[in-house]
Amino acid sequence: MITDFKEIEHSALELDKKRRAELAKRLIKSLDEEIDSDIEQSWIDEVTRRKEEIKSGKVSPLLGEEVHKEARKILKK
């Protein structure tokens, strides 16, 4: 079994694009297995709150293009 990080990295980078993508997906999934239920619930609550603000008309959603354009303006200042 390969145990040295550099050997693993080298072997992984020699894989074709499809297999590298699959390996990356599995590695990322392995990091996400321990989900903090408090954090997960906080995100659900935040999404629900934002959805209600949009439905009520309190806020209006913006297109991603508009947000990026405005952000670029701010960053150029």
Report yes or no: 39 and 32 within 8 Å, Cβ to Cβ.
Answer: no
Query: Which tens digits make up the pLDDT trace of 7-40?
Result: 999 999 999 999 999 999 999 888 877 778 899 8
User: Comparing C-alpha atoms, which of 27, 1, 24 is closest to residue 13?
Assistant: 24
Per-residue confidence (pLDDT) for residue 1, from 0 to 100: 60
Mean per-residue pLDDT, 49-77: 94
**8 A C-beta contact, residue 20 and residue 13:** yes
Per-residue pLDDT, 2: 62
* Cα separation of the two ends of the chain: 54
Residue ranges of alpha helices (H) inside the chain are 5-13, 17-31, 37-56, 64-76
At residue 71, the pLDDT reads 94
Which amino acid, 27?
L
